[in-house]
Amino acid sequence: MTKAIVLLSGGIDSPVAAWMVKRFGVELIALHFSNEKFAGKEPEEKARRLAEFLGIKKFICIDASEDFERIATKCNRKYYFVLMKRYMMRKAEEIAKKEGCSFIVTGESIGQVSSQTLSNLISITKAVSIPIIRPLLTMDKQEIINLARKIGTFEISKGPEVCDLLGPKHPATKSRHEDLLKEEEKLNASGGI
């Protein structure tokens, strides 16, 4: 059976993406990046409930609070969301290799937020060699919400989005790979992430 890592945030989009991929018989492992220091435990609790609701048996949680804070303070703030996603993809790839997973699943769609512009999605993808599947890529937010209601995840997912607590007011909507590598060098120079 094909296995994959799904990045499960506790929000509306990622459980819909998980449901879409799971329909094809893919065994999913849920990976949640906690930002407990800044967002509390609620996002993790929601993600656990969503994994259970979707029949995902394995749930892995990484407390990334310190790493997210280092990205926000050591790097050019406008790249925070892209650098955060690149970090998450690398961690997901490490776990995917250990767990025998073939790809990563995300709830990203084009243009919803700063990290999801086409330029930034390309930059995020370049962080890893494992394929990233984005089943919601061309859906708009209302379509995703409608599907979340239909499949029963919306009631668990609804509530404030807290993934942007450390992000800038004006994030970069375009990023160049070379610029991101320079920003990541700042992290490596200060102890790595």
Q: What are 117's two structure tokens?
A: 């512009």
Residue type, 111: G
- In sequence order, the 6+-apart residues with CB closer than 8 A to the CB of 158 are 12
- Segments making up each domain of the chain, as ranges: 3-65+81-164
H/E/C letters for each residue in 98-149?
HHCCCEEECCCCCCCCHHHCHHHHHHHHCCCCCCEECCCCCCCHHHHHHHHH
- Helix/strand/coil for 53: helix
Q: Is this model's pTM higher than 0.85 or not?
A: yes
Burial code of 149-159, b = ≥16 C-beta within 10 A, e = fewer? eebebbebbee
In this structure, are residues 56 and 28 in contact, taking their beta carbons and an 8 Å threshold? yes
Which region, left, alpha or beta, applies to residue 159 given φ > 0 means left and ψ of -120 to 50 means alpha? Answer: left
Note the pLDDT tens digit of each residue in 75-109.
999 999 999 999 999 999 999 999 999 999 999 99
CATH number of 3-65+81-164: 3.40.50.620
Note the pLDDT tens digit of each residue in 117-133.
888 999 999 999 999 99
Mean pLDDT of the chain: 91
Note the pLDDT tens digit of each residue in 54-84.
999 999 999 999 999 999 999 999 999 999 9
**Cβ atoms within 10 Å, residue 7:** 24
